[in-house]
Structure 1
Amino acid sequence: MDISGGFMSSQSTHPQTMDGRDPSHLRGDAITGDRYYSKEFAEKEWEHLWTRIWHIAGRLADIPEPGDYVVHNFLKESVIAVRQDDGSVRAFYNSCRHRGMRLVHDDSSTEEFVCPYHGWRYAKDGLLVHAQDSDVDFPQGDPCGKLRLNELRCDTWGGFVWYTMDDNAPTLADYLDPMPEVAKNYPMDTAVRVAWYRVKINANWKFVTDNFSESYHTRTAHPQVPPWIDQDVDSARHEMWPKGHGRTVQPMHPSISDRPADGRNVMFEAVLRQWDIDPDSYDSYEEFAFQGWKDLKAAKQKLWREKGYVHYEHMNDEEITDSPHTVIFPNVTISFLPDNLVFFRSEPCPDDPEKCYFDLWCMAFPVEGQTEVESIMAGPKPLEEVAVCEHRDFDGGQGIPELAGQIVYQDMSLAEAMQAGMHSKGYTDAVLSGQETRVRFFHEVLNDYLEGRR
């Protein structure tokens, strides 16, 4: 039996992939503290980044029928994405063409958008269909049937609705490249959102992307992870791509460096038993971890249909047993797990660059016979779509006590002190390990946007 350590994978990498641990791919741009608190820097981000990229408005699952819409508020802008009669989705600025009034505030469904100020009405396709006194009191002519809500480019991928404020931005497929190809085996649009949080934290939005661009912090901040995901220095594969996206592919087997003191690993034992593998059949902890992982791959490939894991149909050996933790530039992270998708997003607060909103969407792939799932980041949840977003203020953890002890709670607990450290004269630039190469790469791609190179 081969029970050697390290990351063992037969999966080939995408041809655009760069080694995410190789600093030769970097220019060496400094990551200075002012990036995290300067209002002038935040204004440059608005002008040169946020108005140029593709944003996620919401999920296609939230707007299944014609007239269903989601509202995405970003800084001081607001966008409506609405399902059309032909099944397509269109996006409009949430601003009445009359005098700028916001038309709607919350996700809902409608046949017409009605301005609450003067009663102007717009069809789902953005066309103005009614305005008070339109035929007698507009010197420039009746605007009805001619005027439209200002529209944004809109597209879909991964079960998400995307839009961009930039008429000249690349297509969504080009912007995301190569993510659609890399993640093509996951049936993302079938995932059920079982937990939905939007948490205000006292840190710049970039803290979140920094944090998810490395796993070097895991053994310190997340001691519960090594028993089921091996994040040792030589175990994970670090990848990054020219558009700024990147991922860390981590084998979901126990770490040898952080083995339990009693030599037992109840969590991984349970996983093996679930797939009809006897965890007591291995002669050593190393064999239990590495050969057990290989046996798990074989068992899942053999038994997925019988056990109701239909989402495995097109997934390969790596995808059914490992964790490609993926950052989509600049502010979206998706943890692709065999049975879950965890969506994270950070967005700046409108008036303070030292605060941001942190979105957590825990999604699970339906499995025949399951009524409850382990959401990974938010604990056990019923396997059903959650209807309402939980808006919370982190408040030192007091705002989300039900998430205490979860990985994402531990990350948020670090944010405020990290933000404070950016003001210190003792900090001038990051001193990074090879595992953190993607952190500087993210900032260099951000610099490219801000300086007009992208």
Structure 2
Amino acid sequence: MGRQDIDALMIDGRNAANLRGDPITGERYTSPEFMKREWDHMWTRIWHIAGRTAELEEAGDYVVHDFMNESVFCVKQEDGSIKAFYNSCRHRGMRLVWDASSQDSFQCPYHGWIWGKDGVLEKAQDPEDFPQGNPCGKLKLKELRCATWGGFVWYTMDDEAPELLDFLSPMPELYKNYPMDTGVRVFWMKIDLETNWKFATDNFSESYHTRTAHPQVPPWIDQDVDTARHEMWPGGHGRTVQPMRPSLSDRLPEGVQHPFDMILQAWDIDPESYPDFETKAMQGWLDLKAAKKRLWQERGYVHYENMDDEEITDSPHTVMFPNVTISFLPDNVILFRTEPHPTDPNKCTFDLWCMAFPVAGQTMVESIMAGPQPLHEAEFQHRAFDNGRGVPEIKDQIVYQDMMLAEGQQRGMHSRGYDDAYLSGQETRVRFFHEVLNDYLEGRR
């Protein structure tokens, strides 16, 4: 698919006339019955991320992905391919593995059956004692379709689902210039939240909340209403593309060092050379593009090699239906993912993966969502948010501010005072997400 084809399929993400107008009711967030419909008609039909390809370097390396009451593990094969299997012994259903690791075979802890990396049963106790015949070499773990994109390992439970690149389209084409598989995951945390999983997709489908929730953002990402591009595509994916320059509507108090000044100075641009704030914001942004294009190679920013002017200075914030958001920044890729609690629609987990592109000579990187981090693969952490007390490492970061709103939003969805969202034009993608979800639930997809 070329850029012309992508543009032809794109839907204006600010024009509510492109939507049916399906109401966004509170029960979508609070009802166990609605949660069950999501499992039956949507979660079992989409593609899920199991982990990073960087976790699967050698044959036998595997990652485990637990989703609601299901569990899948993906394991690297001798030929370099990756296979995905349900995490359940075919003998009597015992779970085989719990955490990512590496091994040549998988032994059931209950009766000792041994399964190979390829999922085929290698050994069973008393193999001749089966009326069906010796199962060794014949019986195989139930396999799922598995594919990779963006440095991520994906799988689907649906044999009839589209191919991964078709499911994600047009995102793989839009972001082909980012060397995503080279990103180093410098922060890796799963956080338990007291909210429905859809809170995050709603939140990341608009930036209308930014001035209220994230006052630190407008000085370096332009949040003005008519500045951003709002794009959405038939598969349910969408993005907001905003320039990484100061908003002209928001001014910092006199005497406060401006973050954009520091960005300009880092690329040998004098912020005092501009006659006024407006010129610095607009012309400085153009000068920054030129400086990065001129200096990237000598400074070791090798990931800029194929990136265009927009990609090296702007912020395309992308939601991939239904629950993965990737914030593409010039030097960082941030993944957010919410997944439902197995039984309670009022709870979910929130994954925060901060990935940085290596730059020659750098040992520390500035992660937009987690602050300064060492440039190496982070250890996994699992925390309860606990009104912010459980995650002091990210206190006052942008994503922390989002999570501080989550419980109040969920409680509001239980109220008789709420019956539908009253959306601005720039929030059109919020309703679009729910309409695509409805299409799954009603069998239209």
TM-score by length of structure 2 reads 0.98
SS of 2:231's equivalent in the other structure is: strand
Q: Counterpart of 2:423?
A: 432
* Contact 2:74–2:85, Cα closer than 8 Å, also in 1: yes
Structure 2 runs not aligned, ≥5 long: none
Q: Counterpart of 2:189?
A: 197
Q: Cα deviation per residue 1:9-46 (whole Å; 9 max; x = unaligned)?
A: xx987332111001111000000000001000000000
Q: Counterpart of 1:323?
A: 315
Q: Counterpart of 1:108?
A: 101
> Which AA in structure 2 matches 1:126?
G
SS of 1:40's equivalent in the other structure is: helix
What are the equivalent positions in structure 2 for 1:57-96 lying under 5 Å apart? Answer: 57-96=50-89
Q: Counterpart of 1:3?
A: none
SS of 1:338's equivalent in the other structure is: coil
Which of 162, 165, 171 does residue 173 from structure 1 map onto?
165
Shift of 1:261: 1.6
What are the equivalent positions in structure 2 for 1:206-285 lying under 5 Å apart? Answer: 206-262=198-254, 265-285=257-277
Q: Equivalents in 1 of 2:257, 2:304: separation in Å? A: 25
> Which AA in structure 1 matches 2:334?
V
Q: Cα deviation per residue 1:180-233 (whole Å; 9 max; x = unaligned)?
A: 111111000000000001000000000010000000000000011011101110
What are the equivalent positions in structure 2 for 1:147-158 lying under 5 Å apart? Answer: 147-158=139-150
* Contact 1:71–1:80, Cα closer than 8 Å, also in 2: yes
Shift of 1:115: 0.3
Q: Counterpart of 2:377?
A: 385
* Contact 2:315–2:327, Cα closer than 8 Å, also in 1: yes
Q: Counterpart of 2:27?
A: 34
Runs of 4+ in 1 over 2 A off after TM superposition: 11-15, 263-266
Q: Equivalents in 1 of 2:85, 2:112: separation in Å? A: 18
Q: Counterpart of 1:370?
A: 362
Which of 18, 25, 30 does residue 18 from structure 2 map onto?
25
Q: What fraction of aligned residue pairs are identical, expressed as a percent?
A: 70
Q: Equivalents in 1 of 2:63, 2:346: separation in Å? A: 27
Q: Equivalents in 2 of 1:292, 1:94: separation in Å? A: 53
Matched, 1:349 2:341: yes
* Contact 2:318–2:328, Cα closer than 8 Å, also in 1: yes
What are the equivalent positions in structure 2 for 1:114-129 lying under 5 Å apart? Answer: 114-129=107-122
Q: Equivalents in 1 of 2:57, 2:367: separation in Å? A: 24
Q: Counterpart of 2:413?
A: 422
Q: Counterpart of 1:394?
A: 385
Q: Counterpart of 1:51?
A: 44
Q: Equivalents in 1 of 2:178, 2:273: separation in Å? A: 32
* Contact 1:253–1:290, Cα closer than 8 Å, also in 2: yes
Q: Cα deviation per residue 1:393-427 (whole Å; 9 max; x = unaligned)?
A: 00111110121110010000000000000011111
Matched, 1:97 2:90: yes
Q: Equivalents in 1 of 2:8, 2:318: separation in Å? A: 17
Q: Cα deviation per residue 1:217-276 (whole Å; 9 max; x = unaligned)?
A: 000000110111011101111100000000000100011111112175431111111111
Q: Equivalents in 2 of 1:402, 1:334: separation in Å? A: 21
SS of 2:66's equivalent in the other structure is: strand
> Which AA in structure 2 matches 1:390?
Q
Q: Cα deviation per residue 1:94-115 (whole Å; 9 max; x = unaligned)?
A: 0000000000000000000010
* Contact 2:252–2:258, Cα closer than 8 Å, also in 1: no
Q: Equivalents in 1 of 2:394, 2:372: separation in Å? A: 11
Q: Equivalents in 2 of 1:63, 1:15: separation in Å? A: 37
SS of 1:283's equivalent in the other structure is: coil
SS of 2:7's equivalent in the other structure is: coil
What are the equivalent positions in structure 2 for 1:130-169 lying under 5 Å apart? Answer: 130-134=123-127, 136-169=128-161
* Contact 2:239–2:316, Cα closer than 8 Å, also in 1: yes
* Contact 1:263–1:285, Cα closer than 8 Å, also in 2: no
TM-score by length of structure 1 reads 0.96
Shift of 1:161: 0.5
Structure 1 runs not aligned, ≥5 long: 1-10
Q: Cα deviation per residue 1:252-306 (whole Å; 9 max; x = unaligned)?
A: 0011111112175431111111111111100000011110000000111111101
Q: Equivalents in 1 of 2:84, 2:362: separation in Å? A: 36
- Matched residue count: 442
* Contact 1:14–1:182, Cα closer than 8 Å, also in 2: no
Shift of 1:389: 1.3
Shift of 1:174: 1.0
